[in-house]
A = this chain, B = another copy of it.
Amino acid sequence: MPLLNLIPRAELERVAGVVVDPDARVSTLADMCRVNALVAVKRAGSGHIGSSFSAMDVVAFLLFEELNTARLGWEHPDRDVYFSSKGHDVPGLYAALFALGVIPRERFLRLRRFGGLDGHPDVGVPGIEANSGSLGMGISKGRGIAWAKRHLGRGGRVVVMVGDGELQEGQNYEGLQAAAHEGLSGLTVVVDRNELQSDKRTEEIVSLGELESRFRAFGWHVESCDGHDVPALRSAFAACREQGDHPQVVVARTIKGKGVSFMEHPVALSEGGGTYRWHAGAPDDDAFDRAFAELVERVQERFADLGLTPLELEPVDSVDDRRAGSLVGEPESGAGPQRAEYVVDAFGDELVRLGLEREDLVVLDADLASDCRVRAFELAYPDRFVECGIAEQDMVSTAAGLARHGLLPVANSFASFLAARANEQIYNQASEGSKVVYALHYAGLIPAGPGKSHQSVRDISLLAALPGTTIVQPGSSEETRALLRWAVLEAEGNVAVRLAIGPSPRRLELPALVSPGRGHVLREGSAGVLFAYGPVMLHEALTAAEELHDNGVGLMVVAMPWLNQFDAEWLDDVLGAHEHVFVLEDHSPVGALADALRRQQTGRRIVAFGVEGWPACGTPQEALRHHGLDGHSLADRMSACLGAGARAGR
């Protein structure tokens, strides 16, 4: 991590106070916010630069000039309300709120840290008006706020930023039609039309067609402009204000990565060989240095043009980036010199292998092909890859259609989106008696940096009552391959495969062949038995067992990949003599493995440790500790249950 420098608030205030020309003021502040957003993301180890930058001029124009919010304050009933529906552009918004003094310096520097700034917007952070991060809810929410303002006779407009890729999500059209029907003229949507989503062109993933005509067909007044041109934005929003009967949209044509030459679309896309590298994740040191230098140089030029004395930067304390919640970070701890593994790599790799064996295998994606490691399948079997865009419901019902007509679909998305957003579609598909494999990526508490929109700690409960569906989560690469093979080749009904997205904290020796309903004893011990699943929690379970061992207590640890079906005989064997049965959930304690075990073993005392309340945002260790799920806390919690007699049980 290089030494980081921030633009201090005093410098931002200097520009805000001294520069008379509003256009120059907004543009200069926007570039200054870009600098600070970049620093915050680098410090956090992850975050979304590309769309923070594409949306930055619009955000700066709105917060520094167009809206009354900064003047009235974020509690005032007559304030204008601005929020971003896509949410991942929040580093830019945080930078603007820091500039306005709404977010203090110390908190601004704690992006994606516990008690700092959530990786996606959360109303617990000052200046944040709505929780977002899961896409497509913003227009509806804005409709609700605008309706409330009108009903209560309050002043203020509502401006909702949406991404263009996000407009693939069907809920947007529900919100559009309702707001038009109600003539909610207090509602303005601004589209950050940067033409890229996740890592490819929107036109390539699923075309939006002529965006303006979509909005018009839904009864909205439409303005279009260059989203980096402040006078053009001013005119567009002025025209919107004059609409008395219709909600309005400003389609702001923007450039993803705007402000840093090598992050800008389309240059960045062609340099990335067809994929855009700056959507999520922090730049490496070299890229950071170059981007930072370029941005600061532009700000200095602007200062010179405006007759201001040069910009002064302020150094920032360094942080231990090994603790960062980055998806691409190294594992935090490990068993010696082994290279980190990602179970999701094994998933992607085995999927390609299965594609060769099974011609009926079709892979579906909802614009997360890289994160879900299905890009390799797409490249290997382009005619068996179905891209659905950011539209999980459509993906699932499409899979249902494929499955009814002789194909074997594997549908991929993040667990929090797939299991929740498409829940009724999954029920409907399953009710047809067909088979679909659902790959629930990004399952569990970790990584915790992106915040609660992305942390999936309910997905098991959401699928548990679905007849004929088996839910599994592997703990190692070998087990991932084996479970996927079982799901594709042997399982009779639906299988939901939960997958951790980050690096496995340690390599686990798990069998390369699976036996339905049977787990694997990782450690023997007679004081009690602990069931866990997934690489993250198995590591914590073993860490706890190691600590207990050092204290003279022997804990059996069972890796249990089968989360809702058990081999009764095996289970009886394992549980046999144990008085103390523990379950460590990478999930809420409600609706997951412990509940399933209690149903199967009613009358047996089973103590569950899970994610209580809302999943904490922060580094992995911060989040685990907050929930008492790190190895050390678990050792303490189990010791308390085992009581004084435990030591004898070693």
A567 at the interface (CB under 8 A from B): no
**Once the chains bind, are A421 and B420 in contact (CB under 8 Å)?**
no
Mark the stretch among A4-12, A37-45, A167-175 that contacts chain B.
Answer: A167-175
CB neighbors of B among A116-142 (8 A) = 122-124, 129-132, 134, 136-138, 140-142
A140 contact set on B, CB distance < 8 A:
393-398, 400-401, 425
Copies of this chain, complex-wide, total: 2
**Once the chains bind, are A467 and B613 in contact (CB under 8 Å)?**
yes
Given A140-B393, A177-B168, A432-B130, verify A152-B405 contact (CB < 8 Å): yes
Determine the distance from Cα of A138 to Cα of B404 in the docked complex, in whole angstroms. Answer: 13
A93 at the interface (CB under 8 A from B): no
**Once the chains bind, are A149 and B405 in contact (CB under 8 Å)?**
yes
A391 contact set on B, CB distance < 8 A:
171, 174, 177-178
Q: Which residue of B lies closest to A364 (CB)?
A: B144
**Once the chains bind, are B217 and A401 in contact (CB under 8 Å)?**
no
Min Cβ gap A154→B in Å is 8
Given A217-B214, A602-B598, verify A465-B432 contact (CB < 8 Å): no
**Once the chains bind, are A123 and B172 in contact (CB under 8 Å)?**
no
A570 contact set on B, CB distance < 8 A:
none
A633 at the interface (CB under 8 A from B): no
Given A149-B405, A152-B405, A461-B464, verify A397-B137 contact (CB < 8 Å): yes
A453 at the interface (CB under 8 A from B): yes
A433 at the interface (CB under 8 A from B): yes
Residues 130-167 of A, flagged 1 when their CB comes within 8 A of B and 0 if not, give 11101011101111111111011010000000000000
Min Cβ gap A44→B in Å is 21
Determine the distance from Cα of A3 to Cα of B615 in the docked complex, in whole angstroms. Answer: 62
Q: Which residue of B lies closest to A152 (CB)?
A: B406
Residues 411-423 of A, flagged 1 when their CB comes within 8 A of B and 0 if not, give 0000011001101
A603 at the interface (CB under 8 A from B): yes
CB neighbors of B among A562-589 (8 A) = 564, 587-589
Contact with A134, one of B142, B398, B428, B599 (Cβ below 8 angstroms)? B428
A352 at the interface (CB under 8 A from B): no
**Once the chains bind, are B602 and A393 in contact (CB under 8 Å)?**
no
Determine the distance from Cα of A608 to Cα of B603 in the docked complex, in whole angstroms. Answer: 12
A383 at the interface (CB under 8 A from B): yes
**Once the chains bind, are B169 and A181 in contact (CB under 8 Å)?**
no
**Once the chains bind, are A404 and B130 in contact (CB under 8 Å)?**
yes
A148 contact set on B, CB distance < 8 A:
401-402, 404-407
Given A172-B170, A591-B591, verify A178-B394 contact (CB < 8 Å): yes
**Once the chains bind, are B209 and A177 in contact (CB under 8 Å)?**
yes
**Once the chains bind, are A173 and B175 in contact (CB under 8 Å)?**
no
A322 at the interface (CB under 8 A from B): no
Given A140-B393, A170-B170, A219-B209, verify A131-B432 contact (CB < 8 Å): yes
Min Cβ gap A497→B in Å is 19
Min Cβ gap A537→B in Å is 17
CB neighbors of B among A93-119 (8 A) = none
Min Cβ gap A396→B in Å is 8
Determine the distance from Cα of A160 to Cα of B431 in the docked complex, in whole angstroms. Answer: 19
Determine the distance from Cα of A10 to Cα of B636 in the docked complex, in whole angstroms. Answer: 78
**Once the chains bind, are B206 and A178 in contact (CB under 8 Å)?**
yes
Min Cβ gap A425→B in Å is 6
**Once the chains bind, are B147 and A401 in contact (CB under 8 Å)?**
yes
Residues 72-109 of A, flagged 1 when their CB comes within 8 A of B and 0 if not, give 00000100000000000000000000000000000000
**Once the chains bind, are A217 and B219 in contact (CB under 8 Å)?**
no
Residues 355-373 of A, flagged 1 when their CB comes within 8 A of B and 0 if not, give 0000000100000000000
**Once the chains bind, are B169 and A170 in contact (CB under 8 Å)?**
yes
Q: Which residue of B lies closest to A146 (CB)?
A: B401
A124 contact set on B, CB distance < 8 A:
433
A313 at the interface (CB under 8 A from B): no
A457 contact set on B, CB distance < 8 A:
465
A427 at the interface (CB under 8 A from B): yes
Determine the distance from Cα of A446 to Cα of B207 in the docked complex, in whole angstroms. Answer: 43
**Once the chains bind, are A425 and B209 in contact (CB under 8 Å)?**
no
CB neighbors of B among A455-505 (8 A) = 457-458, 461-462, 464-468
**Once the chains bind, are A174 and B462 in contact (CB under 8 Å)?**
no
Contact with A171, one of B142, B384, B397, B405 (Cβ below 8 angstroms)? B397
Q: What would 21 A/B residue contacts be, using CB atoms closer than 8 Å?
A: A134-B424, A136-B393, A137-B400, A137-B425, A140-B401, A140-B425, A141-B401, A148-B406, A148-B407, A149-B405, A174-B393, A175-B397, A177-B208, A177-B209, A178-B398, A213-B213, A213-B216, A420-B423, A462-B462, A467-B588, A595-B598
Closest 8 CB pairs of A and B: A144-B401, A170-B170, A603-B605, A140-B397, A174-B394, A174-B391, A420-B424, A148-B405
4 further A-B contacts with Cβ under 8 Å, apart from A140-B395, A467-B613, are A130-B432, A140-B397, A177-B391, A465-B590
Binding site for B on A (CB under 8 A): 77, 122-124, 129-132, 134, 136-138, 140-149, 151-152, 154, 168-175, 177-178, 180-181, 206-210, 213-214, 216-219, 362, 383-384, 386, 388-389, 391, 393-407, 416-417, 420-421, 423-425, 427-428, 431-433, 452-453, 457-458, 461-462, 464-468, 564, 587-591, 594-596, 598-599, 602-608, 612-614
